Amino acid sequence: MNSVLVVDDDPHIVRALAITLKGQGYTVTTAMDGESALHAAAQRPVNVVILDLGLPDIDGTTVITRLREWSAVPILVLSARHGSGDKVEALDAGADDYITKPFGLDELLARLRAILRRSTESSDETTTIETSSFTVDLAKRQITKSGQDVRMTPTEWNILDILVRNPDKLITQQQLLTEVWGPAYAKEANYLRVYMAQLRRKLEVEPGTPRHFITEPGMGYRFVP
């Protein structure tokens, strides 16, 4: 199920979009201004953001820029302005598409499908990752270790999810912290140490000498199947 964050200061538009999108099977969260939009995006990751440029608090382009500092989520911009300058500015700031009001709902939905199609095809569809000591089913959110199911807390799962989706790749501490706790926690490396210890205790055969969750001192962590 795809999740959408709708950002607009006009309650009517928000409501209309939310109803339409839910009717299409999307999960919808909403925000009325830039600050709460950024907060919402950090709080719960979404598959796509629909963003109105004319927000009461922050300039729309600034919202895009600040979102792009830590997230690669696709952004579809709505705007009442037809000027090409605004379009260029928003697109170059990191937006993926731009529709001018008034727009047709069917066009919006089609562009949404186009964006989501591309963003989901690039992410791997392999849902199960196996190692010598445990198995992770990303779709079912299920972990098995020597026949036994292993329970994970939400935070534990978030970390595991990121690491396992990027096998052999070094994930920096900043990446993990911003993706799991939000950009404000980018320096709280303590949290990582605590939770990496938890993950190892639950998944590694020998938590003291980890074989799958490798620490790269000073840099971050790496998952090796």
Partner DNA sequence: CCAAATCTTGACGCGCTCTTAACGTTCCCC
Partner DNA sequence: GGGGAACGTTAAGAGCGCGTCAAGATTTGG
Q: Candidates 30-38, 135-143, 182-190, 194-202 — which segment interacts with a second copy by CB under 8 A? A: 135-143
Among a second copy, DNA, none, residue 148 binds (CB under 5-8 Å by kind): none
Judged by CB under 8 A, the residue of 56, 121, 194, 208 near a second copy is 121
Instruction: For the beta carbon of residue 221, count every other beta carbon within 10 angstroms.
Output: 21
Site string for DNA, 111-150 (x = CB under 7 A): ----------------------------------------
* Residue 209 makes contact with a second copy by CB under 8 A: no
- Which of 57, 69, 92, 130: binder of a second copy (CB under 8 A)? 92
How far apart CA 220 and CA 170 sit, in angstroms, is 7
DSSP assignment string, 62-117? HHHHHHHTT----EEEEES---HHHHHHHHHHT-SEEEESS--HHHHHHHHHHHHH
Helix or strand holding residue 205 (H, E)? none
Pick between residue 43 and residue 153 the one whose CB is nearest to a second copy: 153
Residue 135: which of 146, 124, 126 has the closest Cα? 146
Q: Which ranges in the chain belong to alpha helices (H)?
A: 11-23, 34-43, 60-68, 84-93, 105-122, 154-165, 173-180, 189-203
172 binds DNA (CB under 7 A): no
CB 3 within 8 A of CB 46: yes
Among the listed residues 106, 125, 194, 209, the single contact to a second copy using CB under 8 A: 106
By beta-carbon proximity to DNA, the closer residue of 48 and 160 is 160
Which two tokens mark 6? 């709708």
Residue 188 makes contact with DNA by CB under 7 A: yes
| Residues near a second copy (CB under 8 A) | 72, 74, 84-85, 87-88, 91-92, 94-98, 104, 106-107, 109-111, 113-114, 117-119, 121-123, 139-142, 151, 153-154, 157, 168-170, 216-219
